[in-house]
Amino acid sequence: MSAELATRLIDDIGALLLVTMLIILASGQLFRAIYAVAAQSVFLGIAGAVLATATGNIDLWIIAAITIVVKAVLLPWLLIRVVKRIQIRREIEPVIPIPVTLALAAAIVVLSFHLSASLGPVQHAITGHALPVGIALILLGVLVMASRKKALTQMVGLFASENGIFFTAMAISQGMPLIIEIGVILDVVLGALVMGIMVLRVRSSIDTDIADLESLKG
């Protein structure tokens, strides 16, 4: 695969990642947000495969496979299981109205592109527009977490945010060393398990959403 084609494909996938992120931000339903983050992880895996073909780096194939198995299948499955176990109402109650959230999101995307346009020659070390897309995804993930005060939506925002990091990491010339990627993914899975257990525990003992607890103040 030629370098120009790889760059074009990475830019296209970057656009798809941003679109899925906007779907998460705009969705009023928890299941839709979970499916969107799963789709986003599939695109991330495809990006890994594209970069693996373009650079001939075998590690990237492995990373792409792990990404799809863990982030597109395992974690969404875990989230859906938790949702079904606690039988919460499926609607998400936004703290900030959705149109305002989307306007903020647009501002974040523009800012991210503006920021990385100011960078010097180092840009050539990164394929296509992976850097601004990565920055935008991380910040948009935080926006998801800030605008929805429900435990499971906060987890969705966290996973989406992490997708942005993985995207940029893949696109930096050689990708991160394989052992590091595996360690990071392991942490993500362990963290998600602990969070899931906490959510279930609070729901079963006091029947509220763990993110709604507000007794600690001042």
Partner 1 sequence: MSSTLLWITPLVPAAIGLCMLRVRSERMLSVLDVGSSMTVLGLAMAIAYKVIASGPLTAVGLLRADDLTLVFLLLVGLLALVTSVATVGWIQQEIAKGEMRKESLRYYYALVQGFIATMLVTVLADNLGILWIAMEGTTITSAVLVGFHGHKQGLEAAWKYIIVTTIGISFGLFGTVLVYGAATHAQSGGTAGSMNWSSIVALSHLDPSIVRIGFIFVLVGYGAKAGLAPVHMWLPDAHSQAPSPVSALLSGALIKCALLGILRFHTIACHACGPAFSERLLLIFGLISVVVATPFILVQHDLKRLLGYHSVEHVGIIALGIGFGGRLGVFGALLHVINHGVTKALAFLIAGDAISRFGTRDIPKMRGYLGIAPWCGTLLLMAAFSLAGAPPFSIFISELMVIRAGISAGHALAVGVFLVMMVVIFAGLVHHVGQIVFGVADAKADRSPESRWPLLGMLTLTVVMLLFGIYMPAGVNRALVRATEVVLG
Give the number of residues written for the chain. Answer: 218
Q: Name the strand (E) or helix (H) holding 142.
A: helix 130-147
Name residues contacting partner 1, limited to 113-152 (CB under 8 A): 115, 118-122, 124-126, 134-135, 138, 141-142, 145, 151
Which token pair is 4?
Answer: 């120009």
- Phi first, then psi: give them for residue 128, nearest 5 degrees: 55, -145
Question: Which among 36, 156, 33 is positioned nearest to 90, based on CA atoms?
Answer: 33
CA 196 to chain CA mean position, Å: 17
Q: Are 45 and 20 in contact (CB under 8 A)?
A: no
Minimum CB distance to partner 1 smaller for 99 or for 114: 114
From CA 188, how far away is CA 10, in angstroms rounded?
24
Nearer to partner 1, 72 or 199 (CB): 199
Q: Given the complex with partner 1, which of 99 and 120 has the nearer CB atom?
A: 120
Minimum CB distance to partner 1, residue 169 (Å):
5
169 makes contact with partner 1 (CB under 8 A): yes
Nearer to partner 1, 84 or 124 (CB): 124
Please give the helix or strand (H or E) that residue 153 lies within, else none: helix 151-171
112 binds partner 1 (CB under 8 A): no
Provide the minimum distance between the beta carbon of 193 and partner 1 in the complex, in angstroms, as a whole number.
Answer: 9
Minimum separation from the CB atom of position 116 to partner 1 (A): 8
Taking CB under 8 A as the rule, does residue 69 contact partner 1? no
CB of 135 to partner 1, least distance (A): 8
The helix/strand/coil state of 203 is helix
Of 99 and 187, CB closest to partner 1: 187
- Choose which of 85, 93, 103, 174 interacts with partner 1 (CB under 8 A): 174
